[in-house]
Amino acid sequence: MFVMAALALGVIVGRLAYIMLYRGEYYSEKADSLHERERSIKAPRGRIYDRNGNIIADNKAVCSISVIHSQIEDEAEVTELLTRYLDKDPADIRKKVEKVSSRELIASNVDKETGKKIKAAAVPGIKVDEDYKRSYPYDTLASKVIGFTGADNQGILGLEVTYDSVLTGTNGSINAVTDARGIELAEYSETRTEPIPGNDLVTTLDFNIQRYVTQAAEKVQIEKKANRVCAITINPQNGEIYAMVDVPEYNLNEPFKLVKPENDEETDTGEDAERNNSASGTSMLLPTAGNMDELNNMWRNYLISDTYEPGSTAKIITLTAALEKGAVDSSSNFFCPGYKIVEDRRIRCSKTTGHGSQSLKEALMNSCNPAFMEIGERTGVDGMYEYYHKLGLFSQSGIDLPGEANSIMHKKENVGPVELATMSFGQSFQVTPIQFISAVCTVVNGGHTVTPHLGKRIIDSSKETITAIEFDEQRQVIDEETSQKMREMLEAVVAEGGGSKCAIEGCRIGGKTATSEKLPRGTGRYISSFIGFAPADDPQVLTVVLIDEPEGTYYGGTIAAPVVRDIFLNILPYLGIDKATNEY
């Protein structure tokens, strides 16, 4: 019995020694955790800047208000104080105050002044903690590019979600010591772990160019009563996006308020509708469960998330492929009687009386469908598809925004004479605007691919560069000589052809018009577009405008080309492109 008792005592002593010497730190932390209450301190999210250092996404200091039930001395007093200062249902506040829990959040994103007043009252059981709310100083500007965050400060759309891991900081905490009942002990002061802010993002956007392009888009949308007007201004040499616009835009500071036309008969007039008339002729509507589809459509960036038939701007791709394959050259001639018979189809030209005999350059200037059907026929299906692939029309552009769609193309084996003919002038296939813009950049920049992008570099709070954001390496896919020929012919389109309404005296501008009928055909719904670049001999800026379902005149050369002209009148001097010589 003595030996057994000694062995048992030895086991107990050994176990105690193990716990105290080897596991002491672990159990000490466990014990401390029973007497500590932790409250999180939200880390400031990294700012987003334009290329010139203008802040386009910032943080606003706010407060979060909570109650700790074990510390409340007078529930009625706590309820009365919170009801007085917070825009909350008194019944909801009372329910949370009476709930037995370690901590109940009453309200977040409370402005600092209100938080100070509640804190100054010094009512036991109420905690006022610092917090941060995302703030957008320019409200609607570039809303579909920047995106917004949720209540937890996590990115939901746009750049906010693409670069969420960069912008998100590390939360801090406030720790208080409590007794067994959870009441904080006055003799122990709170300990604090400071939050670490997220890193900042510098974008390629230019605030001034974004504003110019937005104003031009809003003007034509109002004048033509269009569904939407989209525009993008990009450096075709490196893919840096200066402006990306899809109007109507929404207010980033109120992203769940639905923007609807005032004359929309389906506008909700229920109890939850909150209307504010604005100068832009729109209304704001609080969302209900039934209009989330409308909200998603409002947030949607058409330039990257939707496809369309490019229409006559696709003749840029057709002609590039034909020149590269040797199917045509500068001496090629065509005859247009006003139509072309393809199998059992009579496909007409926009000029029903025909253009007659014309050179290759004149065919592009006239945007002649029969001529381009012949150019496509000479190039062949294999040749066309080879350059669709080379120019990126079968793959996503790689832009650093979420939700990018891809093109809708015929399988090559299913392309017959009719399909080839219609594809040659931009029908029967669909691409996203950003895919098509990337392809045109390659055609005019000397023949190298670019990745359109918005991220430029990541910096810390002292504005020191941490990382320069890199994208896919450029590849030469078009011969420089072909690119030069295309620039010259596209310059003639603006100087002498259908793009003349984009011409600016003293400036060398290249471009192409398009008017594409939306599916199903025969409904009279069109997308009018124009793509322009300058200087024509060495493009440094390229702008595309798309007008969705304009009322009245719908020809791209008539209504879209002047918009690009207005944009260029503002931004060419700003970018330092000399009007007299049009040199960069």
Helices (H), 284-399: 292-299, 302-305, 315-325, 360-366, 369-390
Q: Which two tokens mark 341? A: 């018979």
SS3 string, 439-459, reads: HHHHHHCCCECCCCECEEEEE
Report yes or no: 220 and 563 within 8 Å, Cβ to Cβ: yes
* Structure-derived torsion over alpha carbons of residues 329, 430, 407, 251, reported in degrees to the nearest 10: 120
pLDDT at 261: 55
Tell me the pLDDT band of 31, cut-offs 50, 70 and 90. Answer: low
Phi-psi region at 174: left, alpha or beta (left = phi > 0; alpha = psi -120 to 50): beta
Query: How would you classify the pairing of strands 510-517 and 333-336?
Result: unpaired
> Mean pLDDT of all residues in the chain?
89
Helices 561-574 and 207-224, interaxial angle, to 10°?
A: 160
Spatial distance between the Cα atoms of 435 and 408, rounded to a whole number of angstroms: 12
Average pLDDT for 436-461: 96
Q: Any idea what DSSP says for residue 279?
A: T
Report yes or no: 294 and 368 within 8 Å, Cβ to Cβ: no
- Assess whether pLDDT exceeds 70 at residue 263: no
* Weakest mean pLDDT among 48-52, 512-516, 574-578: 574-578
Whole-number Cα distances in Å, 531 to 156, 313, 515: 31, 7, 12
Q: Which residue has the higher pLDDT, 120 or 278?
A: 120
Average pLDDT for 541-558: 96
- Residue recorded with tokens 């769940």: 256
- Assess whether pLDDT exceeds 50 at residue 97: yes
pLDDT at 275: 34
| SS percent in the chain: helix, strand, coil, step 5 | 35, 25, 40
Helix or strand or coil: residue 40? strand
Report yes or no: 95 and 66 within 8 Å, Cβ to Cβ: no
Peptide bond into 310 cis (omega under 30): no
* Weakest mean pLDDT among 4-8, 129-133, 241-245, 445-449: 129-133
Tell me the pLDDT band of 519, cut-offs 50, 70 and 90. Answer: confident
* Weakest mean pLDDT among 37-46, 98-107, 213-222, 365-374: 37-46
CATH of 38-176+191-203, one of 1.10.760.10, 3.40.50.720, 3.40.630.40, 3.90.1310.10: 3.90.1310.10
143 is catalytic: no
Report yes or no: 577 and 515 within 8 Å, Cβ to Cβ: no
- Give the CB-side neighbour count of residue 222, counting CA atoms within 13 A: 11
Q: Which residue has the higher pLDDT, 27 or 187?
A: 27
Q: Which helix (H) or strand (E) holds 358?
A: strand 356-359
Q: Could you tell me the strand order of the sheet in which 36-41 lies? A: 36-41, 172-177, 191-193
Q: Which two tokens mark 213? A: 């392009």
From 143, 283, 305, 312, the catalytic residue: 312
CATH architecture of 311-326+395-402+423-574: 3-Layer(aba) Sandwich (3.40)
Spatial distance between the Cα atoms of 88 and 91, rounded to a whole number of angstroms: 9
The CB density around residue 517, as the number of other CB atoms within 10 Å, is 16
Average pLDDT for 194-203: 93
pLDDT at 30: 66
Spatial distance between the Cα atoms of 440 and 542, rounded to a whole number of angstroms: 9
pLDDT at 378: 97
**Buried residues in 377-413 as b, exposed as e (16+ CB within 10 A):** bebbbebbbebbebbbbeeebbbbbbebeebebbeee
Spatial distance between the Cα atoms of 303 and 318, rounded to a whole number of angstroms: 22
- Assess whether pLDDT exceeds 50 at residue 199: yes
Among candidate residues 435, 440, 443, 540, the one with its CA nearest the CA of residue 484: 443
What pLDDT digit, counting tens, does each position of 159-176 carry?
999 999 999 998 888 777
- Assess whether pLDDT exceeds 70 at residue 125: yes
SS3 string, 75-87, reads: HHHHHHHHHHHCC
Amino acid at residue number 498:
G
Helix or strand or coil: residue 482? helix
pLDDT at 283: 45
Q: Residue 549 contacts by C-beta under 8 Å, 6 or more apart in sequence?
A: 226, 227, 518, 525, 526, 527
Helix or strand or coil: residue 208? helix
What pLDDT digit, counting tens, does each position of 394-434 carry?
999 999 999 999 999 999 999 999 999 999 999 999 999 99
**Buried residues in 190-223 as b, exposed as e (16+ CB within 10 A):** eeeeebebbbbbbbbbbbbbbbbbbebbbebbee
Tell me the pLDDT band of 286, cut-offs 50, 70 and 90. Answer: low
pLDDT exceeding 70 applies to what percent of the chain?
Answer: 90
Spatial distance between the Cα atoms of 81 and 215, rounded to a whole number of angstroms: 47
pLDDT at 583: 52
Spatial distance between the Cα atoms of 492 and 319, rounded to a whole number of angstroms: 15
pLDDT at 137: 96
Q: Which residue has the higher pLDDT, 582 or 464?
A: 464
Domain spans of the chain, in order of start: 38-176+191-203, 311-326+395-402+423-574
pLDDT at 282: 43
